[in-house]
Structure 1
Amino acid sequence: MAEENTSKVCEAHPMTGGDGPNSYAKNSNIQRDAIDAAKELVSKAIAENLQIEVLPSNTFRIADLGCSVGPNTFLAIENILEGVEFKYQRKGLNSQIPEFHVFFNDHTSNDFNMLFKTLPENRRYYSAGVPGSFYGRLFPDASIHLAHSSYALQWLSRVPKSVVDSNSPARNKGRIHYSNSTDDVIRAHETQSTEDMECFLQARAQEIVYGGLMVLTIPGRPDGTPHSDASPNVIFQLLGSSLMDLVRKGVVSEEKVDSFNILTYSTSAQELVAVVERNGYFSIEKMVGLPLPLVHDTILYAQLLTSHLRAGMEGDLKQQFGEEVLDELFDLYRKKCEENASSLDPGKAVNFLVVLRRN
């Protein structure tokens, strides 16, 4: 029985399911590129930091947190399996390579049917789905040997209360994202991000075995970069601008824009280090920036951003504004991306690869 209940009520923001033209499965190349870029670093981290001598089981358990619907999660898991097997082989323990059990985790509203239908037929692991927010407990004490998460921890668990309070100075009126808003709004999101990461680390500290690893890829911003300048944030600012264009056209109401908030936060390395050190249960074995792919064709890059954002945001936008506005909204958005290509410079963003070891 878990000694401590760290569960919390969290808002779900599932990626577009199925395998249609706007689905996450068909529009997640950016996330896949991050997994590819991390492959050798993850293998090296496992070789150098995973303490297989103290692992208490002949079944090696891996959790992918925020797995979505595939196919990227399957690629990440395969990379981890190769790294663990190589670790055993280097130690001359070929005959002791354990069986693998993989837990695919995401919110209950995730399209798990799509995930299970596309599981690789030749997989070398047993699999299970685990629904629920990773900001709370998901697994029994000391049951996970390696936890992985890629492009998921930028999502906050909830809208900060002050942001939706009409009487608060942090009310985010006329915007859908924190980054181009007031200092009060930015501080509210910084506080929420810190609280969420503390919950995440506390839950994983109970679930991961001593000597086990956590491998995280988190999109963020370089230290010292203002929130309003970080290119991941500009992506959402342009979406907000597109929605306000629809307000001026009378297509959507301003009240609906005022009450809509995108729950992402672009953290910095300094912020990540501070929250890990404050938690105290993990040591930072590696923290590096992954190379970001460059797309020099402005039109192609705008189309890529538009398709990826629609795959990630379509469900929330449909619920708030109605399905009938989506095509017009994303057509406006694509044009704004073309016009503001210089503001979307990947140099103003970073993908952090963070390797943590359970103390």
Structure 2
Amino acid sequence: MSKRDMESEFSNAFPESCAMKGGEGPHSYAQNSTFQRSAIEAAKKLLQSAVTDHFDLKTTCGSPENQIRIADFGCSTGPNTFIAAQNIIEAVQLKYQSQSQNQSTPEFLVFFNDQASNDFNTLFQKLPPNRNYFAAGVPGSFYGRLFPSQSLHLVHSSSSLSWLSKMPKELTDRNCGAWNKGRIFYTNAPKEVEDAYKGQFKMDLATFLQARAQELVGNGIMILLIPAAHDVIDFSVDLYGGKDYEVLGSCLMDMAKLGLISEEKVDTFNVPTYFPRLKDLKKMLESNEDLSVEKMDLLDGNNLIIEPNLGRHVSQCRAAFEVLIEKHFGDGIVDELFDRFAQKLMKSPQLMMYPQKLKLVMLFVVLKRKV
């Protein structure tokens, strides 16, 4: 690879994005990620089956280093990533012990990846003291290469790929049909707005898969948990998070009318998450030429934990978006914004997400790197 090619390859490794709220305070991601944890726990049996059926021990057995390298993309600050890592290692150990009894047990190296702005200090302070693996942090956007070619045996990511690398420019173009004035999401928006979100998601997912395909060893596997919407959902009516974003957007507009922030700032702010329809997501995953889809399964959204407590609900939203909001609007508005958000939800509790309203599924996917 020439120096120019190498510079080009790494130039797109850090697009626009934000990490979750760090630390261990009441509004931190570490304290407000029970929904994400419930998805990892609900997928444990599927993960064990995936390793049993699809992880190829020949990729490590007999190798000089005798080690298995695992990467979790979008790890945030824990503790969910540690649960996922341990589930993976236990599954590999069980398969190794049942099929390679004459071989010494390999060593495990787990790479924890997230944005460079992620609170890695909190993450590594909370590493399980009795863990059975070596740990390393890898900062940078996963929408680009982060590891050498054919260096990973197993890749994992849960609840992270719904975050876009950046927002489509047409959402803030006054002359474009996708201009999302007065809204911060694609629910209750013109079709052009959703199309812009969908287009960005499709490009991002293709970039992610292509990067991981290069980093995986031959026959290495990737296990993904991706939030998706039911095929028949009407985005203009309801969607996981959609009502929250609408209420949050209305709070921002209220603050703009009071002169606390500029309306132009609100018009140029959009939440960078997208939940594709299930049929679209499956097509996107099947389109990569270097990866074969070995398994697809569903975790029903009704089995995922949504806490109906108002205070917890507000904290969960704040954990996800506080850093993003401060980056766009500057310091000093977050407390008032989420106070207003809580007050509106208190007056209209039907707007809060409840399990029976959760029109969302988690797609469990196993992909294998073609030799």
TM-score, reference length from structure 2: 0.89
Opposite residue 270 of structure 1, the aligned amino acid is: K
Match for residue 42 of structure 1? 47
Within a 5 Å distance, the mapping from 1:152-171 to structure 2 comes to: 152-171=160-179
Whether 2:187 is the aligned partner of 1:187: answer no
Cα drift, residue 283 of structure 1: 2.0
Asked if the contact 2:243/2:351 (under 8 Å) is kept, the reply is no
In 2, the alpha carbon distance for the partners of 1:54 and 1:316 equals 40
Match for residue 30 of structure 1? 35
Match for residue 252 of structure 1? 261
Deviations 1:270-321, CA, capped at 9 Å, x for gaps = 12221122212222222222243467985x1x33321111011111112333
Within a 5 Å distance, the mapping from 1:1-359 to structure 2 comes to: 5=9, 8=12, 9-55=14-60, 57=63, 58-93=66-101, 95-228=103-236, 229-292=238-301, 293=303, 298=308, 300=309, 302-338=310-346, 339=348, 341=350, 344=353, 345-359=356-370
Asked if the contact 1:7/1:135 (under 8 Å) is kept, the reply is no
In structure 2, the CA distance between the partners of 1:233 and 1:210, relative to structure 1 (3 Å rule), is: farther
Q: Secondary structure at the match of 1:231?
A: coil
Deviations 1:9-58, CA, capped at 9 Å, x for gaps = 41121111111121111111111111111111111111111111244641
In structure 2, the CA distance between the partners of 1:199 and 1:110, relative to structure 1 (3 Å rule), is: same
Asked if the contact 2:59/2:153 (under 8 Å) is kept, the reply is no
Cα drift, residue 226 of structure 1: 2.4
What count of residue pairs does the alignment treat as equivalent?
357
Q: Which segment drifts farther, 189-198 or 288-297?
A: 288-297
Q: Secondary structure at the match of 2:208?
A: helix
Cα drift, residue 242 of structure 1: 2.2
In structure 2, the CA distance between the partners of 1:252 and 1:32, relative to structure 1 (3 Å rule), is: same
In structure 2, the CA distance between the partners of 1:248 and 1:23, relative to structure 1 (3 Å rule), is: same
Opposite residue 98 of structure 1, the aligned amino acid is: P
In structure 2, the CA distance between the partners of 1:54 and 1:318, relative to structure 1 (3 Å rule), is: closer
Asked if the contact 2:75/2:114 (under 8 Å) is kept, the reply is yes
In 1, the alpha carbon distance for the partners of 2:10 and 2:195 equals 24
- % identity of equivalent residues: 46
Opposite residue 352 of structure 1, the aligned amino acid is: L
In 1, the alpha carbon distance for the partners of 2:108 and 2:304 equals 36
Asked if the contact 1:6/1:203 (under 8 Å) is kept, the reply is no
Opposite residue 266 of structure 2, the aligned amino acid is: V
Opposite residue 141 of structure 2, the aligned amino acid is: S
Q: Secondary structure at the match of 2:298?
A: strand
Deviations 1:44-95, CA, capped at 9 Å, x for gaps = 1111111112446411000010111111111110011001101112214374
